[in-house]
Amino acid sequence: MKNNFKAGFVTVIGKPNVGKSTLINQLIGEKIAIVSPRPQTTRNIIKGIVTFDEAQVIFLDTPGIISFNKTRTLVDRHVVGEALKSLEGTDIIAIMVEPFSIYEEDRFVLEKLKKTK
């Protein structure tokens, strides 16, 4: 049976400073996302497209997700909300975590994913 896949969305999520933007830049093959040691550098969803012979993949780089009780400002809360909204309608969700440790933010992301359809 032939695969009919032609295009799809891959959303990369995780806590701040886990390497989401670095991964996206590598996958796309150019620097489309700012990389910085400062948390919450990515404040908007950044899209990058990779075109293959038979298909296209749209990668979404999201702001770092922190639990709402750790957000200090309304802007931070909005940024996290937008990142979580990007999960709706995506074809694949890739969660980035640091090796050897699970953080509160990772658990928060997993809880939100359980509620995503």
Q: Is residue 16 part of a domain?
A: yes
Q: Is residue 60 part of a domain?
A: yes
- CA separation for the pair 47, 24 (Å, rounded): 9
Q: Is residue 2 part of a domain?
A: no
Q: What is the dihedral sign for C-alpha 100, 103, 107, 108?
A: negative
85: domain CATH number?
Answer: 3.40.50.300
Digit-coded pLDDT (tens) for 16-48 = 899 999 999 999 999 999 898 887 778 889 999
Number of domains in the chain: 1
Reported confidence tier of residue 2, pLDDT bands at 50, 70, 90: low
Q: What is the pLDDT of residue 20?
A: 92
Q: What is the pLDDT of residue 1?
A: 41
Residues forming a β-bridge with 59: 10, 48
Taking Cα atoms as reference points, which of 9, 7, 18, 13 lies closest to residue 94?
A: 13
Does the pLDDT at position 50 exceed 90? Answer: yes
Taking Cα atoms as reference points, which of 90, 8, 19, 94 lies closest to residue 49?
A: 8
Q: Is residue 97 part of a domain?
A: yes
End-to-end alpha carbon distance in the chain: 27
> Which residues span the domain enclosing 27?
7-114
Reported confidence tier of residue 117, pLDDT bands at 50, 70, 90: low
Q: Is residue 98 part of a domain?
A: yes
Reported confidence tier of residue 56, pLDDT bands at 50, 70, 90: very high
Digit-coded pLDDT (tens) for 60-109 = 999 988 877 777 788 888 888 888 888 888 999 999 999 888 888 888 88
Backbone angles phi, psi at 34, to 5 degrees: -70, 135
